[in-house]
Amino acid sequence: MKKENKYITTPIYYVNDHPHIGHAYTTIIADVLARYYRDKLGDENVYFLTGTDEHGLKIAESAKEKGINPQEFTDIISAEFEESWKNLNISNNNFIRTSSEKHKRIVGDVLLKLKNSKTPNANDVIYEADYEGLYCVGCEKFINESELVDGCCPDHNRKPEKLKEKNWFFNLKDFLPIIKEKIESNELEIYPKTRKNEVLGLIDKQDLPDFSISRSVKSVPWGIDLPWDDKQKCYVWVDALLNYITAIDYPGGENFKKFWPADIQLIALDILKFHAIFWPAILIALDLPLPKRLAIHGFFTIDGKKMSKTLGNVVNPNDLVDKYGADATKYLILSQFGFGSESDINVSEFSAKYKADLVNGLGNLVNRVTNMVQNYLNGKIDIKLKESDLVKDVSEKIENLNFREALLKIWESIKYLNSLIDEKKPWELAKIENEKENLKNILQDLVLGLYNIAISLKSFMPVKSNEIVKILMSEKIVKPETPIFPRLN
Ligand SMILES: [Zn+2]
């Protein structure tokens, strides 16, 4: 059965951290895809989900430090994420919070269902066992001795705690052969391919232990109740992964029936194992189809350095929006590096790039073209504005997640048109009587070129794109009173 709609998700962001440019990057990409597919398939056929992950020991600890209860704490931080996405003009259809009643209720139902299910080898999916291990509160997970650096978790630089408790476990082993098969056959596509190989390697190594789906209430009091054991809470990762189906009202809701399986689940590299192995296992146990594509982006540095609170180089997306506006911020971030690669965001170059590419590049082109059409053609053109190969080319690149390449292609076109103006010098042709027709043709070509640039930018810079299209489509083309991209103070 062919699914003529798209379900696009970002990870839900853990509220132990304030929104930063890393969260913004993933969210902007999801937004570009959502806008692109809405245009192609219709608004009602795209569902874009983001939200916040709100349970776990780390949250309880942070709330305690602030002297408030965990719910109050998550309310505050979750609102920061919603606010940031509003500022960035993100077009999500839903914003899920894992502390919401609906999510908690459905997670409870799912857990019970898993408890009553069998693995492909007819074993119980969920079983009880003792677990003893080292637990990093920073990661919210058990950590192997071999992963420690100087006795500390390398990601959090803190000593893990020794934990021994009775937990409920998920029988992952029995699902691995099917997961492997589905990944190999691309039924679950893992993109880019290097990550696919990484996941397959992990499965082949055969040291993926069953994972626990619960924590003792004593050690992790802030979480979703386990329906059959009041001494245990649901492990925050299981709770978090289920957001992708609770948000669309699994099992019986209209949105669930329409949109599952997800078409593109965007994630960062650090949560690959959870999404490529644990998540498919849970879905198979629930007898649900797997997401079609997991798209993984690598880590990036900020001006060559790892982003960290200690270095003070954490970039707040709201600051970027204040300075450059939402559309320009999206451009500046996405034009930095190709999706999937590990690279650098040159924030220190943003001002220069804003000036070069937006003020003097696209903005100036809009000014020049509209000004000349206004002066030499009285604002009138007599051609039909239709889409060119540029639009087709950019669409293809978006579908293949080549966002940076799409933008490079558009900016090639902007540079070309600006240089064409320099070369043809329409202002000189305007002085020559028998060049009138030639002048008109040149200007109309410029309008057509600019129109296609604006259309190509629709998913990336919805507001600016619309402004330009409106000017070019109006009865009489006039130069905008204020520049499309104002100069920075
Ligand atoms: Zn850690």
Locate all alpha helices (DSSP H) within 42-69, ordered by sequence: 57-66
Residue pair 169/238 in contact (Cβ under 8 Å)? The answer is no
Residues annotated as catalytic are 20, 23, 136, 139, 153, 156, 306, 309
Residue pair 358/331 in contact (Cβ under 8 Å)? The answer is yes
Assigned fold of 349-473: Isoleucyl-tRNA Synthetase; Domain 1 (1.10.730)
Residue 158 CA, ligand 1 centroid: distance in Å = 7
Q: How many CB atoms lie within 10 A of CB 437?
A: 9
Q: Reduced to 3 states, what is the DSSP secondary structure of residue 315?
A: coil
| Burial of 218 per CB tally in 10 Å (0-12, 13-18, 19+) | exposed
The CA R_g of the chain, rounded to the nearest whole Å, is 26
Residue 368 CA, ligand 1 centroid: distance in Å = 54
- Residues lying with their CB under 5 A of ligand 1, a single-atom ion: 136, 138-139, 153, 155-156
Residue 308 CA, ligand 1 centroid: distance in Å = 15
Report the alpha-carbon distance of residue 483 to residue 358 in Å, rounded.
10
| Burial of 335 per CB tally in 10 Å (0-12, 13-18, 19+) | middle
Which helix (DSSP H) or strand (DSSP E) does residue 226 occupy?
Answer: strand 225-226
Q: Reduced to 3 states, what is the DSSP secondary structure of residue 187?
A: coil
Answer positive or negative: Cα dihedral of 170, 153, 19, 56.
positive
Residue 475 CA, ligand 1 centroid: distance in Å = 61
Residue pair 452/413 in contact (Cβ under 8 Å)? The answer is yes
Tokens describing residue 178: 């099917």
Report the alpha-carbon distance of residue 212 to residue 216 in Å, rounded.
11
The per-residue pLDDT for range 436-449, each reduced to its tens digit, is 999 999 999 999 99
Residue 51 CA, ligand 1 centroid: distance in Å = 22
Q: Reduced to 3 states, what is the DSSP secondary structure of residue 214?
A: strand
Report the alpha-carbon distance of residue 459 to residue 396 in Å, rounded.
13
Report CA-CA distances (Å) from 101 to 108, 134, 224, 243, 365: 11, 32, 10, 12, 51
For the chain, list residues with pLDDT below 50.
none
Residue 139 CA, ligand 1 centroid: distance in Å = 4
Residue 153 CA, ligand 1 centroid: distance in Å = 5
Report the alpha-carbon distance of residue 255 to residue 222 in Å, rounded.
29
Start-to-end Cα distance in the chain? 55
Residue 142 CA, ligand 1 centroid: distance in Å = 9
Residue 295 CA, ligand 1 centroid: distance in Å = 24
Alpha carbon 389 to chain centroid distance? Answer: 27
pLDDT of residue 2: 61
Per DSSP, 261 falls in state S
Tell me the whole-structure pTM to 2 decimals. 0.94
Q: Reduced to 3 states, what is the DSSP secondary structure of residue 136?
A: strand
Which residues, including other chains, have CB under 8 Å from residue 434's CB and lie 6 or more apart?
none
Which helix (DSSP H) or strand (DSSP E) does residue 109 occupy?
Answer: helix 101-115
Backbone phi, then psi, for 373, in 5-degree steps? -65, -40
Q: Where are the domains of the chain?
A: 6-298, 349-473
Tokens describing residue 436: 């009138």
Q: 6-298: which CATH number, 3.40.720.10, 3.40.50.2000, 3.30.70.1450, 3.40.50.620?
A: 3.40.50.620
Residue 37 CA, ligand 1 centroid: distance in Å = 37
Closest to 305 (Cα-Cα) out of 271, 346, 353, 339: 346
pLDDT of residue 235: 93
Tokens describing residue 117: 């299910």
Residue 137 CA, ligand 1 centroid: distance in Å = 6
Residue 192 CA, ligand 1 centroid: distance in Å = 26
